[in-house]
Amino acid sequence: ALGIAKSTVQVVLLPIIVGLLLNQYAPKAGRAIAEHSPAVGLVVFITLVGASVAGCASAILDAGWSLQWPLIFLHAIGGILGYFGARGMRLSEKVSRTVAIETAMKSSGFAFILAAKHFTDYSVRVPAAVSV
């Protein structure tokens, strides 16, 4: 559990803290980095997950729709709750859509990273890999 907590800090909190510090103490550098962060993040994410999903591809294919349907519903429910939760807090339409997308999709990537780092058995990674 301590390893997963440490990974959470490294993957989630550390980039946020670094970004806040850059914006506070080196705003010009922060803006320059922020301009390219989405593209770099996407390429790194796709590369890491794609390479790892290949290792459990047969398990994903073997599981079929019995694994797909629960994950489809999980993401749909996450998106719906994220959207209406944000709207319930009177956030704008744009922010509500962003929260819905983040809620529905980002947690699966994080789950995959944790599963890949902390479990040696590829089958543990399968649900998160399908979600991505």
Contact 67, 60 (CB under 8 A): yes
Contact 86, 99 (CB under 8 A): yes
Type of residue found at 62: D
Among 13-22, 24-33, 37-46, where is mean pLDDT lowest? 37-46
Q: Please give the residue that has the higher pLDDT: either 86 or 45.
A: 86
Please say if the pLDDT value at position 5 is more than 80: yes
Confidence of residue 121 (pLDDT cuts 50, 70, 90): confident
Answering whether pTM is above 0.75, one says no
Strand, coil or helix: 1: coil
Please say if the pLDDT value at position 132 is more than 70: no
How confident is the model over 68-95, as pLDDT tens digits? 888 888 889 989 999 999 999 999 999 9
Dihedral sign, CA of 124, 14, 16, 54? negative
Helix pair angle (27-55, 14-25), 10° resolution: 160
Residue 78: per-residue pLDDT: 87
Strand, coil or helix: 84: helix
Please say if the pLDDT value at position 20 is more than 80: yes
pLDDT, the chain, mean? 85
